[in-house]
Structure 1
Amino acid sequence: MTTTSKVDQLLAEAQKRRESSYREKALKMYPWICGRCGREFSGKRLSELTVHHRDHNHDNNPEDGSNWELLCLYCHDNEHQRQVDAHYQGNDAGRDKGPKVTHKGLAGLAELLAKKE
Protein backbone atom coordinates (compact mmCIF):
# COMPACT_ATOMS: atom_id res chain seq x y z
CA MET A 1 0.00 0.00 0.00
CA THR A 2 1.43 3.38 -0.97
CA THR A 3 1.51 6.40 1.32
CA THR A 4 -1.06 8.24 -0.80
CA SER A 5 -3.57 5.42 -0.69
CA LYS A 6 -3.08 5.07 3.08
CA VAL A 7 -3.78 8.79 3.55
CA ASP A 8 -6.82 8.53 1.26
CA GLN A 9 -8.07 5.57 3.27
CA LEU A 10 -7.66 7.42 6.58
CA LEU A 11 -9.45 10.49 5.22
CA ALA A 12 -12.30 8.34 3.89
CA GLU A 13 -12.69 6.63 7.28
CA ALA A 14 -12.71 9.98 9.11
CA GLN A 15 -15.34 11.34 6.75
CA LYS A 16 -17.48 8.24 7.19
CA ARG A 17 -17.32 8.59 10.99
CA ARG A 18 -18.27 12.26 10.78
CA GLU A 19 -21.14 11.55 8.38
CA SER A 20 -22.48 8.69 10.47
CA SER A 21 -22.52 10.82 13.60
CA TYR A 22 -24.54 13.68 12.11
CA ARG A 23 -26.71 11.27 10.13
CA GLU A 24 -27.60 9.38 13.30
CA LYS A 25 -28.43 12.66 15.04
CA ALA A 26 -30.54 13.90 12.12
CA LEU A 27 -32.48 10.62 11.97
CA LYS A 28 -33.26 10.95 15.69
CA MET A 29 -34.33 14.61 15.35
CA TYR A 30 -36.46 14.56 12.23
CA PRO A 31 -39.28 12.36 10.94
CA TRP A 32 -38.17 9.90 8.27
CA ILE A 33 -39.81 11.88 5.47
CA CYS A 34 -38.14 13.59 2.51
CA GLY A 35 -38.27 17.34 3.05
CA ARG A 36 -39.00 17.96 -0.64
CA CYS A 37 -41.22 15.20 -2.07
CA GLY A 38 -42.76 14.01 1.20
CA ARG A 39 -42.03 10.29 0.71
CA GLU A 40 -41.83 8.29 3.92
CA PHE A 41 -38.96 5.89 4.63
CA SER A 42 -38.47 2.99 7.01
CA GLY A 43 -36.70 -0.35 7.27
CA LYS A 44 -34.21 -1.13 4.51
CA ARG A 45 -35.33 1.89 2.50
CA LEU A 46 -34.13 4.24 5.26
CA SER A 47 -30.71 4.13 3.59
CA GLU A 48 -32.28 6.10 0.69
CA LEU A 49 -32.84 9.06 3.01
CA THR A 50 -29.83 11.39 3.11
CA VAL A 51 -28.82 14.36 5.23
CA HIS A 52 -28.56 17.52 3.16
CA HIS A 53 -26.61 20.53 4.44
CA ARG A 54 -28.69 23.61 3.71
CA ASP A 55 -25.63 25.84 3.37
CA HIS A 56 -23.75 23.12 1.40
CA ASN A 57 -20.97 23.16 4.04
CA HIS A 58 -20.46 19.60 5.27
CA ASP A 59 -18.33 20.86 8.15
CA ASN A 60 -21.20 22.98 9.52
CA ASN A 61 -22.96 20.49 11.79
CA PRO A 62 -24.59 22.38 14.67
CA GLU A 63 -25.93 20.21 17.49
CA ASP A 64 -29.46 21.56 16.99
CA GLY A 65 -29.50 20.28 13.39
CA SER A 66 -30.44 23.67 11.99
CA ASN A 67 -28.22 23.16 8.91
CA TRP A 68 -29.67 19.75 8.05
CA GLU A 69 -32.69 18.46 6.25
CA LEU A 70 -33.54 14.90 5.30
CA LEU A 71 -33.91 14.38 1.55
CA CYS A 72 -34.37 11.23 -0.49
CA LEU A 73 -31.58 10.33 -2.90
CA TYR A 74 -33.45 11.81 -5.86
CA CYS A 75 -34.30 15.14 -4.24
CA HIS A 76 -30.77 15.39 -2.80
CA ASP A 77 -29.21 14.87 -6.24
CA ASN A 78 -31.65 17.40 -7.69
CA GLU A 79 -30.71 19.98 -5.05
CA HIS A 80 -27.00 19.65 -5.78
CA GLN A 81 -27.58 19.71 -9.53
CA ARG A 82 -29.53 22.95 -9.14
CA GLN A 83 -26.52 24.44 -7.35
CA VAL A 84 -24.20 23.34 -10.17
CA ASP A 85 -26.59 24.73 -12.79
CA ALA A 86 -26.84 28.06 -10.97
CA HIS A 87 -23.05 28.25 -10.84
CA TYR A 88 -22.69 27.75 -14.58
CA GLN A 89 -25.56 30.12 -15.33
CA GLY A 90 -23.88 32.81 -13.26
CA ASN A 91 -26.54 32.93 -10.54
CA ASP A 92 -24.34 31.98 -7.60
CA ALA A 93 -23.93 34.60 -4.89
CA GLY A 94 -20.76 36.62 -4.75
CA ARG A 95 -19.69 35.86 -8.30
CA ASP A 96 -18.84 38.59 -10.77
CA LYS A 97 -21.74 38.54 -13.21
CA GLY A 98 -19.73 39.88 -16.15
CA PRO A 99 -21.25 41.75 -19.06
CA LYS A 100 -24.96 41.37 -19.77
CA VAL A 101 -26.08 40.05 -23.12
CA THR A 102 -27.45 42.92 -25.18
CA HIS A 103 -27.86 41.26 -28.56
CA LYS A 104 -31.41 40.18 -29.41
CA GLY A 105 -31.18 37.46 -32.04
CA LEU A 106 -34.79 37.68 -33.21
CA ALA A 107 -35.24 41.42 -32.83
CA GLY A 108 -36.05 42.11 -36.50
CA LEU A 109 -38.03 38.93 -37.20
CA ALA A 110 -41.51 40.51 -37.02
CA GLU A 111 -40.41 43.21 -39.44
CA LEU A 112 -39.00 40.68 -41.93
CA LEU A 113 -42.16 38.58 -41.78
CA ALA A 114 -44.34 41.66 -42.35
CA LYS A 115 -42.35 42.54 -45.51
CA LYS A 116 -43.02 39.11 -47.05
CA GLU A 117 -46.79 39.49 -46.79
Structure 2
Amino acid sequence: MSADLYGTSAKYKREEQGYRDKALKLFPWICGRCAREFEYSGLRELTVHHIDHDHTNNPQDGSNWELLCLYCHDNEHAKYTEYEQHPTRVDAGDNNQDLATYNPFADLKSMLKK
Protein backbone atom coordinates (compact mmCIF):
# COMPACT_ATOMS: atom_id res chain seq x y z
CA MET A 1 0.00 0.00 0.00
CA SER A 2 1.48 3.29 -1.03
CA ALA A 3 1.90 5.92 1.68
CA ASP A 4 1.12 8.63 -0.90
CA LEU A 5 -2.27 7.16 -1.74
CA TYR A 6 -3.64 6.85 1.79
CA GLY A 7 -1.47 9.21 3.83
CA THR A 8 0.47 6.90 6.07
CA SER A 9 0.30 3.15 6.12
CA ALA A 10 -0.64 3.18 9.82
CA LYS A 11 -3.50 5.61 9.17
CA TYR A 12 -4.85 3.40 6.37
CA LYS A 13 -4.67 0.29 8.57
CA ARG A 14 -6.65 2.07 11.29
CA GLU A 15 -9.32 3.18 8.81
CA GLU A 16 -9.46 -0.27 7.23
CA GLN A 17 -9.88 -1.94 10.61
CA GLY A 18 -12.70 0.46 11.45
CA TYR A 19 -14.78 -0.26 8.36
CA ARG A 20 -13.87 -3.95 8.42
CA ASP A 21 -15.14 -4.31 11.99
CA LYS A 22 -18.33 -2.47 11.07
CA ALA A 23 -18.88 -4.54 7.91
CA LEU A 24 -18.42 -7.77 9.85
CA LYS A 25 -21.13 -6.62 12.27
CA LEU A 26 -23.51 -5.47 9.50
CA PHE A 27 -23.32 -8.41 7.12
CA PRO A 28 -23.47 -12.20 7.45
CA TRP A 29 -20.07 -13.86 7.18
CA ILE A 30 -20.68 -15.15 3.66
CA CYS A 31 -18.80 -14.31 0.46
CA GLY A 32 -21.01 -12.19 -1.75
CA ARG A 33 -19.83 -14.01 -4.89
CA CYS A 34 -19.25 -17.71 -4.17
CA ALA A 35 -21.48 -17.90 -1.06
CA ARG A 36 -18.77 -19.57 1.01
CA GLU A 37 -19.67 -19.34 4.69
CA PHE A 38 -17.08 -18.34 7.27
CA GLU A 39 -16.65 -19.06 10.96
CA TYR A 40 -14.63 -16.92 13.33
CA SER A 41 -11.51 -19.08 12.90
CA GLY A 42 -11.38 -18.39 9.13
CA LEU A 43 -12.53 -14.80 9.22
CA ARG A 44 -9.12 -13.50 8.10
CA GLU A 45 -9.96 -14.86 4.62
CA LEU A 46 -13.09 -12.70 4.36
CA THR A 47 -12.36 -9.22 3.05
CA VAL A 48 -14.29 -5.99 2.61
CA HIS A 49 -14.65 -4.96 -1.02
CA HIS A 50 -15.53 -1.37 -1.93
CA ILE A 51 -18.17 -1.60 -4.63
CA ASP A 52 -17.10 1.68 -6.26
CA HIS A 53 -13.40 0.81 -5.78
CA ASP A 54 -12.89 3.98 -3.67
CA HIS A 55 -11.36 3.02 -0.32
CA THR A 56 -12.11 6.45 1.08
CA ASN A 57 -15.87 6.07 0.45
CA ASN A 58 -17.01 4.40 3.67
CA PRO A 59 -20.66 5.22 4.43
CA GLN A 60 -21.59 3.99 7.89
CA ASP A 61 -24.58 2.04 6.55
CA GLY A 62 -22.19 -0.19 4.55
CA SER A 63 -23.80 0.64 1.21
CA ASN A 64 -20.39 0.72 -0.53
CA TRP A 65 -19.12 -2.53 1.00
CA GLU A 66 -19.54 -6.19 0.35
CA LEU A 67 -17.81 -9.11 1.99
CA LEU A 68 -15.80 -11.25 -0.41
CA CYS A 69 -13.43 -14.15 0.19
CA LEU A 70 -9.80 -13.56 -0.77
CA TYR A 71 -10.20 -15.39 -4.08
CA CYS A 72 -13.36 -13.60 -5.21
CA HIS A 73 -11.91 -10.25 -4.09
CA ASP A 74 -8.81 -10.79 -6.20
CA ASN A 75 -10.97 -11.83 -9.15
CA GLU A 76 -13.17 -8.74 -8.77
CA HIS A 77 -10.17 -6.41 -8.87
CA ALA A 78 -8.66 -8.30 -11.80
CA LYS A 79 -11.89 -7.76 -13.79
CA TYR A 80 -11.85 -4.06 -12.94
CA THR A 81 -8.18 -3.68 -13.92
CA GLU A 82 -8.69 -5.61 -17.16
CA TYR A 83 -11.69 -3.47 -18.09
CA GLU A 84 -9.61 -0.30 -17.53
CA GLN A 85 -6.92 -1.67 -19.85
CA HIS A 86 -9.32 -3.04 -22.48
CA PRO A 87 -12.68 -1.26 -22.25
CA THR A 88 -15.44 -2.78 -24.30
CA ARG A 89 -18.98 -1.65 -24.83
CA VAL A 90 -21.76 -2.96 -27.01
CA ASP A 91 -24.88 -0.87 -27.46
CA ALA A 92 -28.20 -2.39 -28.46
CA GLY A 93 -28.76 -2.12 -32.19
CA ASP A 94 -25.06 -2.00 -33.08
CA ASN A 95 -24.31 -3.85 -36.28
CA ASN A 96 -20.91 -5.03 -35.21
CA GLN A 97 -19.33 -7.09 -37.99
CA ASP A 98 -17.08 -8.89 -35.50
CA LEU A 99 -19.99 -10.80 -33.97
CA ALA A 100 -20.32 -14.53 -34.60
CA THR A 101 -22.71 -15.36 -37.43
CA TYR A 102 -22.97 -19.15 -37.04
CA ASN A 103 -26.20 -20.30 -35.40
CA PRO A 104 -26.09 -24.03 -34.57
CA PHE A 105 -29.83 -24.07 -33.81
CA ALA A 106 -31.00 -22.28 -36.94
CA ASP A 107 -32.51 -25.42 -38.46
CA LEU A 108 -33.41 -27.16 -35.20
CA LYS A 109 -37.13 -27.46 -35.93
CA SER A 110 -36.58 -29.37 -39.17
CA MET A 111 -33.88 -31.54 -37.56
CA LEU A 112 -36.28 -32.55 -34.78
CA LYS A 113 -38.93 -33.56 -37.32
CA LYS A 114 -36.57 -36.17 -38.83
- Once the two structures are superposed, the pairs formed by residues 1-117 of structure 1 within 5 Å of their partners are 11-91=8-88
Cα separation, 1, equivalents of 2:26 and 2:33? 17
Q: Secondary structure at the match of 2:18?
A: helix
Q: Secondary structure at the match of 2:8?
A: helix
Counting helix residues as a fraction of each chain, which structure ranks higher?
1
TM-score by length of 1: 0.69
TM-superposition CA deviations, 1:37-76 (whole Å, max 9, x none) = 0001112210000000000000000010000000000000
Residue 103 of structure 2 corresponds to none
Cα separation, 1, equivalents of 2:44 and 2:31? 12
Cα separation, 2, equivalents of 1:46 and 1:59? 23
Among the aligned pairs, what percent are the same residue?
Answer: 56
Cα separation, 2, equivalents of 1:43 and 1:91? 40
Q: Between Structure 1 and Structure 2, how many residues are aligned? A: 87
Question: What amino acid maps onto 2:83 in structure 1?
Answer: A
Cα separation, 2, equivalents of 1:71 and 1:56? 13
RMSD across aligned C-alpha pairs, in angstroms? 2.1
Structure 2 portions without partners, runs of 5+ = 90-95, 99-114
TM-score by length of 2: 0.70
Cα separation, 2, equivalents of 1:36 and 1:11? 31
**Runs of 4+ off more than 2 Å:** none
Cα separation, 1, equivalents of 2:64 and 2:87? 25
Higher CA-based Rg: 1
Structure 1 portions without partners, runs of 5+ = 1-6, 93-101, 105-117
Deviation at 1:88, TM superposition (A): 1.2
Question: What amino acid maps onto 1:69 in structure 2?
Answer: E
